[in-house]
Amino acid sequence: MAGAFILCVNAGSSTLKGSLLEASADGGVAEVKGRSVTIDRVPSAEALDEALAALGVSGPEALCAVGHRVVHGGTEFREPVRVDESVKAAIARLSVLAPLHNPPALAAIQAAERRFPNVPHVAAFDTAFFADLPPERVVYSLPYEWYERWGVRRFGFHGLSHQYASGRAQAMLGGGRQRVVVLHLGNGCSASAVVEGNPVATTMGFTPMEGLMMGTRSGSVDPGILLYATREKGLTVEALDDALNHRSGLLGVSGVSGDFRAVAAAAGEGHERACLALAIYADRARAVVGSLATAMGGIDALVFTAGVGEHAASMRADICRGLEFLGLAIDLYRNAPAVPDADVSLAGGTGRILVIQAREDVMIARAARAAIG
């Protein structure tokens, strides 16, 4: 008889997160206290075994499914799917669009399949939440044949996080029309506009490089800079790839680190470039909130989630500075000690500012439960 637990595997480029959730009798999932772990090493069979040991999973008898987060599902995957050879081949094929993310996810899937060969494995895709964005927010202003022939379009990423955070915000807001901007701020950063649970815009695009400034990724830049770097400075495509993905963002500007905490610490000691990096980070996020609010015709709530969004109170305050015209005013006294899930809005504002814990594992478990029936 199948067990009652769902193992959730979230493979990043340099970490592997594992969680154990219970498949509840009502068809949902329930958290198992203390059953989550992060292994700070490249996803592999050894990292998976380390996570399983920390979670107390010794064999398949307790599991009814294993759910996997996969960043890029392209246009093929609009829903969670049971993993088979064709699914793994597609994930590998899409690695060209998410080279930092899809290969580790595939490695984790293969390691988990070897560990639990008779348990159903389910892939949940970050891109699926944004599959039905309006056409004007999918097609780039490039030669149209690039869209038709090459599939160049906006996909959007961090979908599992945006889906959970916007749903949790809806529950915290109660009734009425709900127009939510979600800021997922971690090593990777993205924002979305969600109206009553349906995404209408997002900042990441064809790859997870577009949009906000990130830890080591540039976010959006003038493409003319890239042409200049190749034509006039002789940078190869490989050198550009390395610069944009690994040597830009907080690291590139500060020269200190791609880790927000290290940059913030340096800024606190007066490091000039670290201060500049944080100022750019806040400015880009603040501008995006205004843009996404326009896409919805207003805003009822701004949500901060993921590592920086949940834990960096000073950055939340910096981002919110100047958003009062949107009805978003932060209460500095509530913001400083806030622990997710929390409302840090100043009383009297027309919009709410929420800090919500990132729970991609819950969405992975729900996806796995739905896919296995």
Render pLDDT for 104-114 as a digit per residue (tens, 0 to 9): 999 999 999 99
The tokens describing 85, both together, are 């050879």
Render pLDDT for 32-76 as a digit per residue (tens, 0 to 9): 655 888 888 888 889 999 999 999 888 888 899 999 999 999 999
pLDDT band at 26 (very low <50, low <70, confident <90, very high): low
Compute CA distances 169 → 124, 159, 300, 310, 360, whole Å.
21, 15, 10, 14, 15
Going by C-alpha positions, the residue among 78, 44, 41, 57 that lies closest to residue 7 is 57
CA distance 155 to 220: 15
CA distance 48 to 194: 34
Exposure letters 51-68 (e unless 16+ CB within 10 A, then b)? bbeebebeebebbbbbbb
Lowest mean per-residue pLDDT among 1-15, 272-286, 346-360: 1-15
296 Cβ neighbours under 8 A, 6+ residues apart = 179, 181, 193, 195, 200, 201
The pLDDT > 90 percentage for the chain reads 84
The tokens describing 5, both together, are 């637990």
Q: What is the pLDDT of residue 27?
A: 61
CA distance 239 to 256: 20
User: Look-up: residue for tokens 């993310």?
Assistant: 101
The tokens describing 216, both together, are 């080591």
Q: What is the pLDDT of residue 99?
A: 86
Q: What is the pLDDT of residue 223?
A: 96
As a whole number, the mean pLDDT across the chain is 93
Render pLDDT for 150-195 as a digit per residue (tens, 0 to 9): 999 999 999 999 999 999 999 999 876 799 999 999 999 999 999 9
* Known active-site residue 259: no
- DSSP letter at 330 equals B
Rounded mean pLDDT, 273-285: 98
Instruction: Give the DSSP per-residue string, 249-275.
Output: HHHHHHSS-SSHHHHHHHHHTT-HHHH
Q: Is the confidence at residue 290, as pLDDT, over 50?
A: yes
Catalytic residue among 49, 126, 259, 300: 126
Q: Is the confidence at residue 203, as pLDDT, over 90?
A: yes
Does a cis peptide bond (omega within 30 degrees of 0) precede residue 341?
yes
Q: What is the pLDDT of residue 29?
A: 74
